[in-house]
Amino acid sequence: MITLGLGLLLLAGAYAVAVIEEWATTGRLRPAAPLLAGLALLGRESLVPRKADRVLFEVAPVLFLVAAVASFAVLPLAPGTAIADLATGALFINAALAYVMVALVMAGWGPDAIYAMVGGWRFLAQLVAYGMLVVMPLTAVAMRAQSLTNSRIVEAQEALWNIFTQPLGFVLFWLATMALAFLPPFDLPTAPGELAGGVEGEYSGVRLAIFRLARLTLVFSLASAITVFYLGGWLGPVLPGWVWSILKTLAVASLMLVGGRYLPRLREEDLLAWAWKLGVPLALVNIFWVGVTLLLVK
């Protein structure tokens, strides 16, 4: 029952993300637009490119969706309300996100098209670099909670949210999630105007619909992850816990979608250089800082 409810919530969340994304891009609020666009995509022919690597081409959008849903599955909405509150939840979310990259590499290689391939390999480098900035801040989060279970991580923020105790980790994690969801200015694998759609450029019809749905799901899931790891999850006064979770997640998703729109797209080498030369050392500083504060406060 909880699984079904959370599944529906995830779908509704992905829809809300689609509405917000259009609002942020075009400045028009049209609540029915994603539904119409989705129906239009389903009605269109789904082309398969010549000489496509058929297995990879077909598996990629589905794997993308599965990975996005799996990353949401370990995040609790309220006490005891998660699809699977694993004892290794904070690690599992990394595992699920790694398969987003596998899906995009498949989508890049599968269609036998140059722009798609460039986009796919770009995302490989992007995820390997920014995956570090997901794992390392999460290490500090787990240190404070003394647990990898996501519900314990929320409970550990009862006194003070992690955004206040480890602001550096929060900023790094935020940027990393934006890079993982390839939102602007990190949208290198799709890069409209430069790669003509990149990894999703060769997809059309129902396959593209799955691809888009997976991306929206991923944005909602990552916003939910920020809420759980840094913004105290379900914690909040007056309103019930699940309402707080949803409100925070939507607020985070809106900021993720709006913020990057005003920045130019980064160059691949700058993006990677910043992650490895600046991000990783800062993430180590964050772990050190959190370790010291934990020892001192205790």
Partner 1 sequence: MILQTLAVAFFGLVAVWFSIVVFRTKSMVRSALALLGAMVALGLLFLALEAEFLGVLQLMMMATEMSVMAIFMVMFMMDPGGLGQMEMTHQKKLSLVAGIVGGLVAALLALLVDWGALVQAQNLDMPERQNYNLGMEIMGRSMLIFETAGVTILVSMIAGTLLAIVSRTQTTEGQE
Nearest alpha-carbon partner for 140 in 295, 296, 297, 284: 284
Question: Should residue 95 be labelled a site residue for partner 1 when binding is judged by CB under 8 A?
Answer: yes
CB nearer partner 1, residue 14 or residue 134: 134
Question: Should residue 292 be labelled a site residue for partner 1 when binding is judged by CB under 8 A?
Answer: no
Question: Should residue 124 be labelled a site residue for partner 1 when binding is judged by CB under 8 A?
Answer: yes
2 within 8 A of 81, measured Cβ to Cβ: yes
Choose which of 71, 81, 139, 149 interacts with partner 1 (CB under 8 A).
149
Question: Should residue 94 be labelled a site residue for partner 1 when binding is judged by CB under 8 A?
Answer: yes
CB nearer partner 1, residue 36 or residue 114: 114
CB of 128 to partner 1, least distance (A): 6
Listed in sequence order, the residues at least 6 apart from 144 whose beta carbon sits closer than 8 Å to its beta carbon are 153, 156, 162, 165, 166, 290, 294
Q: Which stretch binds partner 1 (CB under 8 A): 7-15, 26-34, 53-61, 254-262?
A: 53-61
Secondary structure of residue 8 in the 3-state scheme: helix
Q: Which stretch binds partner 1 (CB under 8 A): 15-23, 51-59, 158-166, 288-296?
A: 51-59
CB of 164 to partner 1, least distance (A): 26
Between the CA atoms of 200, 127, 77 and 227, what dihedral angle is there, to the nearest 10 degrees? -110
Question: Should residue 91 be labelled a site residue for partner 1 when binding is judged by CB under 8 A?
Answer: yes
**How far is the C-alpha of 4 from the C-alpha of 80, rounded, in Å?**
15
119 within 8 A of 195, measured Cβ to Cβ: yes
CB of 37 to partner 1, least distance (A): 31
Q: What are phi and psi of 237, to 5 degrees?
A: -80, 165
Question: Should residue 102 be labelled a site residue for partner 1 when binding is judged by CB under 8 A?
Answer: yes
Torsion-angle region of residue 240: left (phi > 0), alpha (psi -120 to 50) or beta? beta
Residue 283, CA distances (Å) to 39, 42, 278, 287 in order:
43, 43, 9, 6
CB nearer partner 1, residue 105 or residue 253: 105
CB nearer partner 1, residue 147 or residue 221: 147
In the complex, which residues of this chain contact partner 1 (CB under 8 A)?
A: 53, 55-56, 86-88, 91-92, 94-95, 98-99, 101-102, 105-106, 109, 112, 121, 124, 127-128, 131, 147-149
